A = this chain, B = another copy of it.
Amino acid sequence: MELTTVREIFRDREKYLNKEIQVGGWVRSNRDSKAFGFLVLHDGTFFETLQIVYHDTMANFQELTKINVGAAVIVKGTLVPTPEAKQPFEIQAEEISIEGASTPDYPLQKKRHSLEYMRTITHLRPRTNTFQAVFRVRSLIAYAIHKFFQERDFVYVHTPLITGSDCEGAGEMFQVTTLDLNNPPKNPDGSIDYSKDFFGKETNLTVSGQLNGETFAQAFRNIYTFGPTFRAENSNTTRHAAEFWMIEPEIAFADLKDDMILAESMLKYVINYVLEHAPEEMNFFNSFVDKGLIERLKHVANSDFGHVTYTEAIEILEKHNDKFEYKVSWGVDLQTEHERYLTEEVFKKPVFVTDYPKEIKAFYMKLNDDEKTVAAMDCLVPGIGEIIGGSQREDSYEKLLARMNELGLKEEDYGFYLDLRKYGSTRHAGFGLGFERCVMYLTGMGNIRDVLPFPRTVGTCEL
């Protein structure tokens, strides 16, 4: 007999009510009185649990009363409605067999555990309500992102993780090597001889797929990446991880305005997808993690995002400098406190800040006609600050080369990138969305360690 899933039962209850079915799952609690007992069963397919009633008429009743939390069981019985109870139905069991026992010291007892404790048992925490909700929603967000781009015929590109150029310049990198570090091959001058390394040169883990992505956008017009990215930064914060996932679309024959339209559409699409496909999980977050979450997300999905230039934003913020730890003035980079003030207090909705000073942005961003600012955009959302950063790319060979020279970047390291401006250059733009920040934003979870299945941060690399 096939196992019916709890999801099937909740989503299509009429089909199963008053029928004999078989379910399998893990015991969340077990309580019994003399003649009968109750198991609360979670089968992993659905956020809600299913109550199982068992009776002393069953041959193994005594064994059943001793089932420990965490055990896996198979239950055969009839699904009956329970109009008086808080749950809509329960299973009156005829047979219960223990698929895999548990022990009284199972680390997830019914009491509430702290998120800190959960981080010490990343192999078990997905069995709890909070992490059931987090990782189901994480999965749905990932899929919604793919669906959004694929419906628009974007090509998904797997840009490489191991990179031979350390010219990406977006942060500190992890080195990748197969050399024996205790006895590395050396050059005559005593330095490491990387010609003996796996790739014949020094290699690192990528900090961005953008430059590779651009090469594909100049061939397919619209592409996106969605893959892991690495930062070897020594930042022990609630928002930084050494390994995280990033989405980087890149669009050709497109300018900054098109880029913002794309970013706004994508965020709204993802919000709507998750609200529609994970209502139970989203209600859980709304009740227990972040009150007001659903209302806030619906508001975002139904707002036109605001637009303000960096220069205008500085004028606004300067008037409130007394509120900020870091005072703003034209030329400084915005901190999270400023970003949140803009989106939460001034605009009260997501806002795009555009046209930043070229000095605080990357070399590849398109120089505006004022020659002081670049066609960059950051999307700020309430509760988080920056969630997306993007720009139109410099498409002029001469201007790009001039900027690279100003910054001391070597032409020979960027031959492929300059080629894109030599052979059929187009207006083009793109952005990066940090996937975990997006998951935090949509779930209200406050620590990046709690939205990554197995977080990697300074000093932590478990399992």
Chain A contact residues, CB within 8 Å of chain B: 3, 5, 7, 24-27, 43-45, 70-72, 74, 99-103, 106-107, 122-124, 126-127, 131-132, 135-136, 138-140, 142-143, 146, 150, 153-165, 172, 174-179, 181-182, 184, 190-192, 198-201, 203, 205, 211-212, 215-216, 218-222, 227-228, 230, 232, 242-243, 245, 252-253, 395, 416-417, 419-427, 452-454, 456, 458-463
Residues on the B chain within 8 Å of A44, using CB: 219-222, 252
State whether A24 touches B422 (Cβ < 8 A). Answer: no
Residues on the B chain within 8 Å of A101, using CB: 424-425
A44 to chain B, nearest CB (A): 4
Residues on the B chain within 8 Å of A221, using CB: 5, 25, 43-45
17 A–B pairs (Cβ distance < 8 Å), ordered by A: A26-B218, A26-B424, A71-B423, A72-B253, A100-B395, A100-B424, A123-B416, A135-B155, A138-B156, A158-B453, A161-B228, A174-B176, A182-B191, A199-B459, A203-B461, A212-B453, A215-B463
Given A100-B421, A181-B177, residue A72 in contact with residue B139 (CB < 8 A): no
Distance of A424 Cα from B67 Cα, bound (Å): 10
Distance of A424 Cα from B98 Cα, bound (Å): 9
A420, closest chain B residue (CB): B123
Given A220-B136, A424-B26, residue A178 in contact with residue B463 (CB < 8 A): no
Residues on the B chain within 8 Å of A165, using CB: 463
Residues on the B chain within 8 Å of A462, using CB: 164
State whether B172 touches A175 (Cβ < 8 A). Answer: no
A179, closest chain B residue (CB): B181
Residues on the B chain within 8 Å of A452, using CB: 158
A227, closest chain B residue (CB): B228
Distance of A367 Cα from B242 Cα, bound (Å): 38
Residues on the B chain within 8 Å of A7, using CB: 153
A417, closest chain B residue (CB): B123
Residues on the B chain within 8 Å of A453, using CB: 157-160, 212, 216
> Ordered nearest first, which 7 A-B pairs have the shortest CB separation?
A100-B425, A44-B221, A126-B219, A199-B461, A123-B416, A72-B424, A123-B215
Distance of A63 Cα from B11 Cα, bound (Å): 64
Most chain B CB atoms below 10 A, which of A177, A178, A198: A198
State whether A164 touches B461 (Cβ < 8 A). Answer: yes
Given A106-B423, A253-B99, A426-B72, residue A178 in contact with residue B174 (CB < 8 A): yes
A104 to chain B, nearest CB (A): 11
A397, closest chain B residue (CB): B100
Given A24-B253, A459-B200, residue A181 in contact with residue B182 (CB < 8 A): no
Residues on the B chain within 8 Å of A181, using CB: 175, 177, 179, 181, 184, 192
Distance of A139 Cα from B146 Cα, bound (Å): 10
State whether B228 touches A158 (Cβ < 8 A). Answer: yes
Most chain B CB atoms below 10 A, which of A140, A177, A453: A453
Residues on the B chain within 8 Å of A177, using CB: 174-175, 177, 181
